[in-house]
Structure 1
Amino acid sequence: MSVTPSLISEISFPFRALACALTWPTKNEVVGGVISKGPGIFVSIAWWTSLLLPNHPVIFAIIITITVLHEGFHGIWVYSWQEFQAIIGSRSFIYQTVLNLVYMQVTLAIYRILTWLAIPSTILPWQAAYWRDVSIVVVAGSVSGTLGYRGLNALYDKGRIGRHTRSHIQQGRDLFLALASSIFASSSMHLFWILFALQQLFDYTIFVVGWLARPRPSR
């Protein structure tokens, strides 16, 4: 069966949308990205150091490189990511939610597989036990995260907040996520669920405020 041009176009759409959304960050976004992602990266490095060193330096280096690049992009190129979310969100809420869900799952799977290469007892993504806590986090987080993006973009599109304000709010959301992810990795689940609930509340609040906000009158 041949791959039709429409199927190729559909598969490539997220990548084309990201390329279209890429914008060079401002100085404020660079500073904000470093501030928001720095603590999460530091905690992540400390966690992986205790888990993988000194026995698995290569896996450690790969994981830290991925972490710095991944978190650095989401922290500094925050405006580009918001524009990307606006583009994919213009198709439909379901499309945006599913795409964010897939993105989160691929990211989690990469970390789990790399950890498994060093620690064979690690539960892998295709094992049932993996979904005990992750399923709640991923599904609930994808929905609330998408609503948070849509609420933030609604405030921006209605002229209620500017580019820098939108970027700073998103960087605050990212800081919440980075800290919660590190705590999840350390298995401190009681504290994690508290942070997760606060993050959900924050995202739903942004969505409601963005939905209720009226467009700023033009002068």
Structure 2
Amino acid sequence: MTTPVLYDYWRSSASYRVRIALNLLDIDYETVPVNLLDREHKAPEHLARNPQGAVPVLEIDGLRLTQSLAIVEYLEETRPGSGLLPGRPGGRARVRALSYAIAMDIHPVCNLGPVAHVMELTKGGDAVRSKWMKKFIGEGLAAVEELLDHSSTGRFCHGDRPTMADLCLVPQVYNAKRWDADISGLERINAIVAACAKLPAFEAAYPRQPQT
């Protein structure tokens, strides 16, 4: 059986999500780094894998998959009992909503390309980038905190087992800390992230810069 291959960048939030999912499911995989800062994601070799020029790309089961949440849902559908999405439709909808609030509303506006373009347009440099990140990450996570004020929230975003929502939340909190966004008052989020940090699957997926 061919070992799955994950094309990722160590600091990519989307790649981080998939690493956690693969770890939770005990799927051994090989990593091929794609350095976003060196624009390797725009090289012909990578564009042949993903015309969007993005990471992650996962080669698994004879398929080449893109888009982190599509990858997570594929793993959910093909690995029975994964728990990445709840069994009931209402729970699945809630986990998707929490995941999308982060992956589709916070993450895209704080991605490398859009932020670099904002800096170019404003000529504001690092100060503009920092303010941008703090605003959109801080406001976005504050809204997620309110969404978590729900009877289905448990030790994790939905109940007492990690789901796709936790796979999205943890990388976004990593970004919040990286950009010094003030999330100290988000008690539910901080408690969930602390619970995730105790799990080997999350710890093993934590962003670590490759040694050169």
* TM-score normalised by length of structure 1: 0.36
* TM-score normalised by length of structure 2: 0.37
Write 1 or 2 for the structure with the bigger share of helix: 1
Q: Rg: which structure is higher? A: 1
Write 1 or 2 for the structure with the bigger share of strand: 2
